């Protein structure tokens, strides 16, 4: 059985992480718990870009003892990789760790009123997407699948919080338990 440990890495409310953990546990049929110590990310801040280098956060995260669990850091900092302006998250494909950011998932980033429910939905989908990568999945061509690639918050909104049949089949085959799927 898969297990996930969620790390707070920045100004993310613990209540949001508790909610994320509960939803991940239910949808992915995994054991999921929130770690109490905060994962520091100051070392990953790039002064030239005013963003956090997500790969550097991943490198620090994998140094945490995992006991075979998947590690997920959630931050409020704006993430980037050198070849892209920003990323919603990054994961080690087939590895142990992933990081997601709520920074560009917030409606306020786009000059719109705060929407806590929408933020929680977007965070859940991005966390599932990055954990899918950790568990070996690549991007999916089905736009409804949580593994579809997204470059805007609006595209996250049209995805479902579930795997398409093909992606779920790949994950089911490696673990045996059926996962939440759509379609």
Tens digit of pLDDT per residue, the chain (183 long)?
689 999 999 889 999 999 999 999 999 999 999 998 889 999 999 999 999 999 999 999 999 877 889 999 999 999 999 999 999 999 999 999 999 999 999 999 999 999 999 999 999 999 999 999 999 999 999 999 999 999 999 999 999 999 999 999 998 875 544 455 554
The tokens of 124 are what?
A: 């859940």
Q: C-alpha 158: how far from its chain's center?
A: 17
pLDDT at 176: 41
pLDDT at 179: 53
- Paired sense of beta strands 45-46 and 51-53, if any: antiparallel
Active-site residue 108, yes or no? no
Domain ranges of the chain: 3-137
DSSP state of 103: G
pLDDT at 181: 52
- CA distances, 133 to each of 37, 60, 114, 163 (Å): 25, 18, 29, 12
Global pTM reads 0.92
In this structure, CATH architecture of domain 3-137: 3-Layer(aba) Sandwich (3.40)
Which is the catalytic residue, given 130, 154, 160, 166? Answer: 130
Note the pLDDT tens digit of each residue in 134-169.
999 999 999 999 999 999 999 999 999 999 999 999
| CA–CA gap between residue 56 and residue 53 (Å, rounded) | 6
Query: What is the phi/psi pair of residue 121, to 5°?
Result: -65, -45
């Amino acid at each position: 059985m898969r297990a996930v440990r969620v790390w707070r890495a920045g100004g993310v409310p613990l209540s949001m992480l508790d909610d994320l953990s509960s939803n991940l546990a239910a949808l992915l049929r995994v054991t999921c718990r929130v770690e109490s110590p905060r994962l520091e990310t100051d070392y990953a801040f790039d002064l030239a870009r005013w963003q956090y280098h997500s790969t550097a956060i991943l490198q620090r995260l994998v140094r945490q003892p995992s006991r075979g669990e998947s590690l997920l850091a959630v931050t409020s900092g704006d993430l980037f990789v050198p070849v892209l302006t920003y990323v919603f998250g990054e994961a080690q494909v087939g590895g142990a760790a992933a990081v997601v950011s709520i920074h560009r998932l917030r409606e306020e980033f786009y000059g719109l009123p705060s929407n806590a429910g929408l933020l929680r939905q977007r965070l859940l989908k991005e966390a599932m997407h990055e954990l899918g990568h950790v568990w070996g999945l690549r991007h999916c061509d089905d736009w409804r699948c949580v593994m579809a690639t997204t470059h805007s918050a609006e595209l996250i909104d049209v995805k479902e919080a579930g795997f398409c049949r093909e992606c779920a089949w790949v994950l089911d085959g490696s673990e045996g338990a059926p996962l939440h799927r759509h379609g």
